[in-house]
C-alpha cells in the first residue's frame, strides 16, 4: 500500500501559504482510504480552486494511485477555524 498521505502532502505543500497550519490525516476503512486535508480557509480555497478544478485534479491523481493498489481513495477538504 502506498503512503497516500505523503503523496498528497508532496503535491499540495507548494500550493499553500501557511505550511504550519496544513494537517493531513489518513483513515483506512478496508479498501476505502479517506484523506482529510485541514488548512486555513484561504489555503482551502486555493486547494479547491475555481469550480473545483484543483480539487478534482488532486482527486484524480490519488484515485489513479489507489487503483494501482486496488484501493478507493477519497479526499476531503476542511478549513481550520481559528475561533475553536
Q: Please tell me the predicted confidence (pLDDT) of residue 2.
A: 84
Mean per-residue pLDDT, 7-36: 95
> Three-class SS of residue 20?
helix
Write out the H or E segment, with its range, that includes residue 34.
strand 32-39
Q: Please tell me the predicted confidence (pLDDT) of residue 83.
A: 54
Out of 3.30.465.10, 3.30.300.20, 2.60.120.860, 3.40.50.300, the CATH code matching 4-79 is 3.30.300.20
Does the pLDDT of residue 84 top 60, yes or no? no
Cell 478544478 sits on residue = 53
Work out the percent of the chain whose per-residue pLDDT is above 70. 96
Rounded to two decimals, the pTM is: 0.89
Q: Please tell me the predicted confidence (pLDDT) of residue 30.
A: 84
Q: Please tell me the predicted confidence (pLDDT) of residue 81.
A: 76
Amino acid at each position: 500500500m502506498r503512503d497516500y498521505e505523503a503523496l498528497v502532502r508532496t503535491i499540495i505543500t507548494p500550493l499553500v501559504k501557511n505550511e504550519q497550519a496544513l494537517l493531513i490525516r489518513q483513515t483506512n476503512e478496508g479498501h476505502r482510504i479517506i484523506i482529510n486535508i485541514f488548512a486555513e480557509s484561504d489555503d482551502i480555497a486555493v486547494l479547491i480552486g475555481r469550480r473545483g478544478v484543483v480539487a478534482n485534479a488532486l482527486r484524480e491523481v490519488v484515485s489513479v494511485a489507489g487503483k494501482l493498489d486496488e484501493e478507493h481513495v477519497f479526499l476531503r477538504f476542511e478549513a481550520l477555524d481559528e475561533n475553536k
